[in-house]
Amino acid sequence: MTKSNNNKKIVFVKDWGAYLRVKNGLITCYLNKEEKWSVSPFEISSIVVLTNCLVSSEVIRLAGEFGIDLVFFKGIKPVSKIIPVNYGGSFNVWVHQLIAWKKRKVEFAKQFIYGKLHNQWITLRYYERKYGISLSSENIYQLSRDVLTESSIEGVMQKEAEGARWYWKGIKNLLPKELKFKGRRKRGEAKDLFNVSLNIGYSMLSRVVYSAIISAGLNPYWGFLHKMRSGRPSLVFDLMEEFRSPFVDRKLLGIAREDPKSLEDKKTVYGIKFEEEEIYTQARKLANAVLTGEEYKPFLSK
């Protein structure tokens, strides 16, 4: 079972028509009959396939055996993931998750958004203190307090939306003008470089959160905050909320402020590193809160 990503590599297959197979126990990538790279399954934590290529069944088997995350993207969105048979779902956790979903929806939703708002506040506050400017972060702080007194999912979502307005305004002020960032755009509407980078970052984050949720024994499709829709891993979206700002926004913001052009290099964007250990720990905390009835405490960045 993979857990931490301690100095393991992540592999991206981005060349159209690449061929992945196993040779002498090593996962090897060929491009036009030439060997492009070759790695031991011990060395890697994930294989992310970004384009059309061939993958031999032996590679899929090895990935399962070594707990390597094997994901296929279409565009910048993960569309499928190979999950080993013995890897996930604990019956006891699922039963309690269903009970929690019936009885404690708002309680969990509040905590996810409290974590999200708190971490957004921390991100903006960092720059406010660093440069002695104001980005209205105190509004977000206030909302993070208010959200805890909400009594409905709608109320929680409203606070989230209000926070987002302040937050992205702040981010816009921190970004170099040449990026022409007008505000946050969702997938499909994102045309400017920073929004596209954010979308890629969130995709990569969702990949890790999904794995963490599975390994904690939770069911990724039963969310508390996000509505259930067939085939949508709502719980992944729930747990992602608290990590978006500290793990993706903050890193991309750093890169963008230093050298906006470098966001054009997709390797930089796909390659931003997450503290995976933190995500796995948080997923276990969530499973624990679901099981024991204790209060869930979100990930609060510093």
Binding residues for Mn(2+): 160, 226, 241
Contact pick of 7, 86, 151, 292 for other proteins (by CB under 8 A)? 7
| Calpha distance 124→178 (Å, rounded) | 20
Measured from the CB atom, the residue of 37 and 94 that comes closer to other proteins is 37
Binding region for other proteins (CB under 8 A) out of 10-18, 88-96, 148-156, 251-259: 10-18
| Calpha distance 76→196 (Å, rounded) | 9
- Tell me how far, at minimum, the Cβ of 36 lies from other proteins, in Å: 9
Q: Is 4 in the site for other proteins (CB under 8 A)?
A: no
Q: Is 16 in the site for other proteins (CB under 8 A)?
A: no
Q: Check if the beta carbon of residue 35 is closer than 8 Å to that of residue 20.
A: no
- Tell me how far, at minimum, the Cβ of 11 lies from other proteins, in Å: 4
CB-side neighbour CA atoms (13 Å) of 212:
29
| Calpha distance 276→175 (Å, rounded) | 27
Cα 110 off chain centre by = 19
- Please give the residues from 24 up to 53 whose contact with other proteins meets the rule CB under 8 A: 24-26, 37, 39-44
- Tell me how far, at minimum, the Cβ of 14 lies from other proteins, in Å: 7
The 240-279 contact track toward other proteins, x by CB under 8 A, reads ---------------------------x--xx-x------
* Known binding-site positions: 160, 226, 241
Closest CA to 145 of 121, 123, 170: 121
Q: How is residue 239 written in tokens? A: 């747990």
Q: How is residue 109 written in tokens? A: 């939703």
Q: How many CB atoms lie within 10 A of CB 288?
A: 14
Closest CA to 137 of 148, 149, 126: 126
- Tell me how far, at minimum, the Cβ of 52 lies from other proteins, in Å: 17
Q: Is 11 in the site for other proteins (CB under 8 A)?
A: yes
Closest CA to 35 of 43, 26, 44, 48: 26
Binding region for other proteins (CB under 8 A) out of 22-30, 110-118, 219-227, 228-236: 22-30
Name the residues that contact other proteins, by CB under 8 A.
7-12, 14, 24-26, 37, 39-44, 267, 270-271, 273
